[in-house]
Structure 1
Amino acid sequence: MSRVLLAGAFAMLFGTQASATDFPLTGSNTKVEFVGTKPGGKHTGGFSNLDGKATVEGTEPVSLKIDVTIDTDSLYSDDTKLTAHLKAPDFFSVKDYPKATFKSTKVEKTAAGYAITGDLTLLGKTKGVTMPATVTAGADALTLKSEFRINKTDWGMTYGKGKIDDEVTLKVSVTAKK
């Protein structure tokens, strides 16, 4: 049997598989920011240190897999006193829980872009979240933008009930190169 026929038979039996590309995720190419609100105001902040990777088969965003670990002590906000309070046991308890993680479990195409579902672990509790996103995957670059809301009480952050809104907006922005 010729090599061409053998290669064709192999491809028919086992399919062709696009090669996977890993994109490193770091604090310099990945932004995880939040907006917390209360009656009459809001505060913004985020995390400056994280480490992880995003993997894409070929250039198809539905194959995207994300695995990221956030250094919770790298939390910052628009107010120094608030930053210290957010790091305390009332919120992130960074001494007891120095890491937060997100690991995707599924990516689906939607009318507006993509829905990325995964497990978010904060304060030692893991909950499923789905974030709408725009994703562009190329051979050498990956971009992702998402804005969605979570309820902080789902992870045990109950401080300020009635004074601070339970819903927090998260903004994720990735511009990663291979």
Structure 2
Amino acid sequence: MMSDDLFETRDSSSREVFTRYNREDRIKKASEKVRQLHDPDFIRKRSFIKSVTENRGLRSVFFVIVVLVSINIAFFVTRSDKNNGRIYGIKTELKSFIYQDRALANLRLSENTKFLESLKESEEKDGALVRVNFIFLDDKGTKLSSSLQTGIYMGTELRFSSQDESGNAKKVQAEIYIKEKLLVLSSKIK
């Protein structure tokens, strides 16, 4: 009779359950992945994408989430106002609103003591000249009016305001010039 390594020889007097092959020997000769699957301590690790796209229902939910997130990001980027910013470390904020059929715009430059310290080292010891150009636009983007205002920023809070009396203004832009830098803020009039 021919003897194979994978098969056990059966003892005729034994009353035990008999299998035609020795499982441990076969697992030892198997590939690494098969040995891992038969290891009781092995935990199968799946990637995030594979676990999310495991079946048709999960794939469709994942696809819907990706579409909604991309629409939200696109909407945020195209429709949001840029009414906050920084120029030379100075926080700036543009607010606009309608009051008695006039569009009003307020620009605030926050306090920044470090800016004043940097001025002491330069030639402008009394402060920096700030020029603000307010531009009021209608819903098509055409210019209705503009006003140029100047002030001196000495590290303390500084405010500028402007108004448009046409009643058609839907958006306001503020171009802020300090030294040689320009910052443009925009806000929809609410």
TM-score for the superposition, normalised by structure 2: 0.28
Name the structure with the higher helix share: 2
- Rg larger in 1 or in 2? 2
TM-score for the superposition, normalised by structure 1: 0.29
